[in-house]
């Protein structure tokens, strides 16, 4: 058994205390433009705690080698670390088997894989893929591409003025030609939590396959893919305290079994000759080429970290932060929150009268506050609300109420700078 930082990080932190949590994240102690960093851009990418940094460091310093193919010690150690991370992912989302966990580069790659390997062989002209109006481009464009390749049609379920999607509206669009429902668990532009359990159930009862984009969900709530019953669930490591360039495609084994490989290359084969090739078993059939081994080790450590804290308490902390952020933003003159769904998670987006989001982002940055400005890779959402862009604050377990106070003060400063503040 090899000793690694990843395997050592099993000691629970016991109670949820934000200051204890913050000490695990080295970057939070730095300053930006002379102010302590207030990092409120976690929806784009979250920071990594010491156990993740240590696990990646330990892997690179002591165990790095290619996986699955060497008889030498380092290769076996690297393989053990990589596969241990897969097991952690399996338990993290309560998958039935490790064969259901495909380790990829991220959500985007996972959706593309399902579009090309599941949908493309299945779709006939006139078939339909159903998505919603609030999807990230990663859950729109791969479906547009496969529709163009097959003659299938993309059907888009509407959102309402709160940024909610109703089950009835989606059900109304489920027809005899609907082959797949692909929707977000949590919207990255609005924060809306979608009723995914009901949607999956509804789709299943009509024989429609389901893909849930969990990129904005897994860091904020406990996900149980078996309870959800979806066919596919996809997410990225870098939004849940792991490094970039690593993500997960969960697929139900019987569905994955029927799918052809997507990319060809090393590791996804059993035998190769010029006459023909036989493919490897799941999950390796979908993991062609050398993966991001260090990233996967980091993902395993991020899960270990999340398992070591009191997650319900962390979730309650984040919900309290979100409520406090809404209340704080509600005091800013001329500010309109975009996305007022009754169930939200992780983030709040807004526009401020007379101040372009990019200018606002720059002013906030001068005060040491990192937020996201732009269309958040969800241009149809911006069109729906008739705004070119929004400013978005997105939260993680390490954020504090004091940081939200600073956000409020900085927004007031921006208003004064633009001559819009009350005298």
Q: Which residues are catalytic?
A: 377
Of the pair 8, 137, the CB lying nearest ligand PLP is at 137
Of the pair 119, 242, the CB lying nearest ligand PLP is at 242
Q: In the range 359-388, which residues lie near ligand PLP by CB under 6 A?
A: 377
Q: Residue 310 CB, nearest distance to ligand PLP (Å)? A: 25
**Site map (CB under 6 A) of ligand PLP, residues 119-158, x = contact:** -----------------x-xx-------------------
Q: Is 408 in the site for ligand PLP (CB under 6 A)?
A: no
Q: In the range 244-263, which residues lie near ligand PLP by CB under 6 A?
A: 247
Of the pair 51, 191, the CB lying nearest ligand PLP is at 191
Q: Residue 213 CB, nearest distance to ligand PLP (Å)? A: 5
Q: Is 221 in the site for ligand PLP (CB under 6 A)?
A: no
Q: Residue 183 CB, nearest distance to ligand PLP (Å)? A: 10
Of the pair 106, 300, the CB lying nearest ligand PLP is at 106
Residue from 42, 48, 108, 117 binding ligand PLP (CB under 6 A): 108
**Site map (CB under 6 A) of ligand PLP, residues 171-190, x = contact:** -------------x---x--
Q: Is 216 in the site for ligand PLP (CB under 6 A)?
A: yes
Of the pair 77, 318, the CB lying nearest ligand PLP is at 318
Residue from 9, 48, 107, 150 binding ligand PLP (CB under 6 A): 107
Q: Is 285 in the site for ligand PLP (CB under 6 A)?
A: no
Q: Convert 18-52 to b/e letters by CB count within 10 Å (16 or more is b).
A: beebeebbeebeeeeeeeebbbbbbbbbbbbbbbb
Q: Is 58 in the site for ligand PLP (CB under 6 A)?
A: no
Q: Is the peptide bond prior to 283 cis by the omega test (within 30 degrees of 0)?
A: yes
Measured distance CA(101)–CA(247) in Å, rounded: 10
Of the pair 236, 410, the CB lying nearest ligand PLP is at 236
Q: Residue 184 CB, nearest distance to ligand PLP (Å)? A: 5
Cβ-Cβ contacts under 8 Å for 240 (sequence gap 6 or more)? 46, 218, 219, 302, 303, 306
Measured distance CA(44)–CA(370) in Å, rounded: 11
Q: Is 106 in the site for ligand PLP (CB under 6 A)?
A: yes
HEC readout, the chain: CCCCHHHHCCCCCCCCCHHHHHHCCHHHHCEECCEECEECECCCCCCCCHHHHHHHHHHHHHHCCCCCCCCCHHHHHHHHHHHHHHHHHHHHCCCCCHHHEEEECCHHHHHHHHHHHHHHHHCCCCCEEEEECCCCHHHCHHHHHHHHHHCCEEEEECCCCCCCCCHHHHHHHCCCCEEEEEEECECCCCCEECCHHHHHHHHHHCCCEEEEECCCCCCCCCCCHHHHCCCEEEEEHHHCCCCCCCEEEEECHHHHHHCCCCCCCCCCEEEECCCCEEECCCCHHHCCCCCCHHHHHHHHHHHHHHHHCCHHHHHHHHHHHHHHHHHHHCCCCCEEEECCCCCECCEEEEEECCECHHHHHHHHHHCCEECEEECCCCHHHHHHCCCCCEEEEECCCCCCHHHHHHHHHHHHHHHHHCCCCCC
Q: Residue 52 CB, nearest distance to ligand PLP (Å)? A: 16
Q: Residue 118 CB, nearest distance to ligand PLP (Å)? A: 17
Of the pair 5, 200, the CB lying nearest ligand PLP is at 200
Residue from 123, 170, 215, 364 binding ligand PLP (CB under 6 A): 215
Of the pair 5, 110, the CB lying nearest ligand PLP is at 110
Q: Is 236 in the site for ligand PLP (CB under 6 A)?
A: yes
Q: Residue 19 CB, nearest distance to ligand PLP (Å)? A: 28
Binding-residue total with ligand PLP (CB under 6 A): 14
Q: Residue 238 CB, nearest distance to ligand PLP (Å)? A: 6
Give the footprint of ligand PLP on this chain (CB under 6 A): 106-108, 136, 138-139, 184, 188, 213, 215-216, 236, 247, 377
């Amino acid at each position: 058994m090899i000793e690694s930082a990843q395997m050592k990080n099993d000691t629970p932190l016991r109670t949820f205390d934000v200051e204890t949590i913050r000490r695990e994240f080295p970057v939070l102690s730095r300053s930006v433009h002379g102010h302590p960093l207030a990092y409120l851009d976690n929806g784009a990418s979250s920071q990594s705690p010491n156990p993740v940094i240590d696990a990646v460091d330990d892997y690179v310093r002591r165990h790095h080698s290619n996986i699955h193919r060497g008889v030498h010690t380092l290769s076996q150690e690297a393989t053990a670390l990589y596969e241990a991370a897969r097991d952690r992912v399996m338990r993290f989302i309560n998958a039935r088997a490790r064969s259901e966990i495909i380790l990829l580069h991220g959500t985007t790659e996972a959706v593309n894989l399902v579009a090309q390997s599941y949908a493309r062989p299945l779709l006939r002209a006139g078939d339909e893929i159903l998505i919603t109006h609030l999807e990230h481009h990663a859950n729109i464009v791969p479906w547009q591409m496969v529709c163009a390749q097959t003659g299938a049609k993309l059907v888009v379920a509407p959102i309402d003025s709160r940024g909610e999607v109703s089950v009835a509206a989606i059900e109304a669009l489920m027809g005899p030609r609907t082959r797949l429902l692909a929707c977000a668990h949590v919207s990255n532009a609005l924060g809306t939590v979608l009723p995914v359990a009901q949607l999956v159930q509804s789709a299943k009862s009509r024989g429609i396959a389901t893909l849930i984009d969990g990129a904005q969900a897994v860091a904020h709530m406990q996900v149980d893919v078996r309870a959800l019953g979806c066919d596919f669930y996809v997410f990225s490591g870098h939004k849940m305290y792991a490094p970039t360039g690593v993500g997960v495609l969960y697929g139900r084994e019987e569905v994955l079994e029927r799918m052809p490989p997507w990319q060809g290359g090393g590791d996804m084969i059993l035998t190769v000759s010029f006459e023909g090739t036989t493919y490897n078993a799941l999950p390796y059939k979908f993991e062609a080429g050398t993966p991001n081994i260090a990233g996967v080790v980091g993902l395993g450590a991020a899960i270990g970290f999340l398992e070591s804290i009191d997650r319900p308490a962390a979730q309650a902390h984040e919900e309290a932060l979100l409520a406090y952020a809404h209340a704080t933003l509600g005091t800013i003159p001329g500010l309109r929150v975009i996305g007022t769904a009754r169930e939200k998670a992780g983030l709040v987006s807004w526009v401020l009268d007379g101040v372009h989001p990019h200018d606002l982002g720059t002013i906030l940055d001068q005060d040491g506050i990192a937020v996201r400005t732009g269309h958040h890779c969800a241009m149809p959402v911006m069109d729906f609300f008739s705004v070119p862009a929004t400013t978005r604050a997105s939260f993680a377990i390490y954020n504090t109420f004091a940081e939200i106070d600073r956000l409020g003060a900085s927004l007031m400063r921006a208003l004064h700078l633009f001559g819009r503040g009350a005298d």
